[in-house]
Structure formats: C-alpha cells, structure tokens
Amino acid sequence: MSVDNSALRGGHIMAAFLPGEGRPRQNGSIAPAEFATADGLNLSADIAGEPWRSRIIFLHGGAQSRRSWRRALEVFALGGFSVVSYDLRGHGESDWSAKGDYSLEAHVSDLISIVRSSPGRPILIGASLGGRVALAAAAKLGSEVINCLVLVDLTPRLNAVGLNRIRNFLSESVEGFADRAAAAAALSLYAERPLDKPMSNIGRSLIKHNNGRFYWRWDPQAALDANLDPVDLERNLRQAARRLEVPTLLVRGTESDLVTPDCVSDFLRDCPSAEVVNIEGQGHLMKSSNWEFFCNAALEFVHRHTRHPVSDPSEY
C-alpha cells in the first residue's frame, strides 16, 4: 500500500516538552507534552523513554484519558521504547472541539499529526475507541509508515449487549453525579468489578460544575450516537481490517460483552494474519485489571516486530 501523502501534508506538528521539564529518561519517568492538531486543537500528552528508541503511541478508550495508560508507559519505557499517551480530542486535558467534531475521521487526522512527529515507524496500541482510531489510521498509512498494531478489546464488529452497556454509562455520565461516590459507583458498574483506586484518584477525573454536580473530564458531545456508533462504522472498519498490511495483535478478555468469539471470528476472516491473545476471566477493561498479563503479551509482540537502536545516536 502506498502512503497517503495528502493526509501527511496537513499541518506540521511537533511535540514540545513544557517549560521546566527535562527530556524523558529510559528509567520510565514521565514528562508532559503537547501536540497540535490540523484544525488547531491542543492535545495533552505524556511521554517517557529515550526519544531515539522505537516509538509506541497509546490511544485510550472513550470517556477515559491518557492516564489509563500511565502504568503501561512506565513498563514499555523500561522495556526499551519511547512512549506517548495522549488525551483524545474532547477528553482529559485536551481541547474540546467547538464544532463537536468527534468523528472517526477527526480522531484519525489527530493521530496522523502525532505520527508525523514520531521517529521512524511508530507502533500503535489502541483500546476500544482508541482501537478504532488506530485501526483506521494503520490501514490508511500502511506499512511504510506504521510498524505494527495492537488492538485492545476492539474489533470492527461489536456485540450489541456491550455497546448498550457502554451507551448507558455514557448517558448517565452526561447527566452528572451528586458526588464522587456516586460517580465511583457508576464507574464500578461499568468496569464490572470493584475499583481499586482511592477516591482521591477518581476525583482527578471529575470536574465540579456550577450546578454542584460532578462530571467526567470529557465533552458530552463525544457520547452522541453519531460519534459512538455512526452509520456504516462496522463496514468501514471491516474494510480497514482487510487493508491492513502491518503485523496486528488483538488482546481481549474472555468475558468481554463487547468483543465476543463471533466478533473475533469475523475479524480473523477480514485479517487472517492477525494474532489473538485471550486474558481468561476478564472483561472489556481487562488491561486495567490484569496489567501484568497485558503488558507481557503486548511487549512480546512488539519486540518481535521491532529493531531497536542500541545507543544514543548523538554519541557518534
């Protein structure tokens, strides 16, 4: 597949460390950064690892933020990679779209901007919504630009039961919560497990509005059906899966109500070269509840498809 140069020409983007922050170190320490999008939004990011190492870009799920990947950043930086996790537009500390544009195309354009600032051919790891974006971008850019792809509980076809559960959580979240405890209860139900986060950590993901209610840090417009489940989404993502040239790994929880065995079978028909790793007894958010298994499986895969420089090029 040839590279879509017209997409790559849109808006020159560079990552910039914020004032007072040093260069990320290989020991896994994390530094803040920002990226600008082609339509002028600022996306907040975290970076770790030596910058000349092979780059991994992490994309979080809907209604989450880059901090859902924080432990993975540390693990993969210590594993010898340069890593980036960013807040998708309308999420976390990134700008909201004044036009309410949270389409797959807008997210893909943002990711392409970040890919352009990366050394070499980056690796994409995307969960749920982030997986949609990573899949579409990898198919569009091809193997000349992207090294490999890891999808976390995301296939083009998604089970209606899981989609409805996510839709219900997002709808409830749009209305806000009376207090942090109510928000934590809703999140625990969505995660299908008791939360291990202290209430103070959950509070960092909430904003208290003037009406006294608490809201998650994402734009409610991102939860509209036009963005969550647009017309022809499955068809478009299946076409993207058929065009994939890069090595691809799907990691899923065996108890996921979103990516069922039938969804996996359909994906493998579209992308027969893909590898699949199942995390036993885990649901849709398995990467949060079984970090060690997920990181080991993903690290083994990306190491197989990556050649690392052995030292700092500036030393020569």
Spatial separation of the C-alpha atoms in residues 102 and 62, rounded to whole Å: 11
**Which residues, at least 6 apart from 220, have a Cβ–Cβ distance to it below 8 Å?**
173, 174
Query: Contact 34/61 with Cβ under 8 angstroms?
Result: no
Summarize pLDDT for 212-242 with one digit per residue, the tens.
Answer: 999 989 998 998 888 888 999 999 999 999 9
Task: Tell me the per-residue pLDDT of 179-220, one tens digit each, with 9 for 90 and over.
Answer: 988 988 888 777 665 555 554 467 778 889 999 999 989 998
pLDDT digit string, tens, across residues 161-171:
999 988 888 88
CA distance 240 to 238: 5
What single-letter DSSP state applies at residue 163?
H
- Residue 299: partners with Cβ closer than 8 Å, 6 or more residues away: 75, 76, 79
Mean pLDDT over 239-261 rounds to 96
- Of 198, 205, 147, 146, which Cα lies nearest the Cα of 173? 205
Bridge partners for 56 per DSSP: 83, 123
| Distance of alpha carbon 81 from alpha carbon 203, whole angstroms | 31
CA separation for the pair 69, 30 (Å, rounded): 11
Q: How far apart are CA 67 and CA 58, in angstroms?
A: 10
CA angle at residue 77 from 88 to 311, to 5 degrees? 125
Written as six digits, the tokens of 287 are 């990467």
Buried b (16+ CB within 10 A) or exposed e, 286-305: bbbbbeebbbebbbebbeeb
Which residues make beta-bridge pairs with 123? 56
Distance separating alpha carbons of residues 247 and 279, to the nearest angstrom? 20
At 265 the pLDDT is: 98
Determine the Cα–Cα distance for residues 48 and 81; give it in Å rounded to an integer: 8
Query: Which residue type does 252 have?
Result: R
Contact between 172 and 186 (Cβ < 8 Å): yes
Backbone angles phi, psi at 192, to 5 degrees: 60, 30
Q: DSSP string of 180-224?
A: HHHHHHHHHHHHTS---S-HHHHHTTEEE-TTS-EEESB-GGGGS
Single-letter code of the amino acid located at 106: A
Task: Please write the tens of the pLDDT for every residue from 117-176.
Answer: 898 999 999 999 999 999 999 999 999 999 999 999 999 999 999 999 888 888 888 889
What's the pTM value of the predicted model, to 2 decimals? Answer: 0.86
For the chain, percent of residues with pLDDT exceeding 90? 62
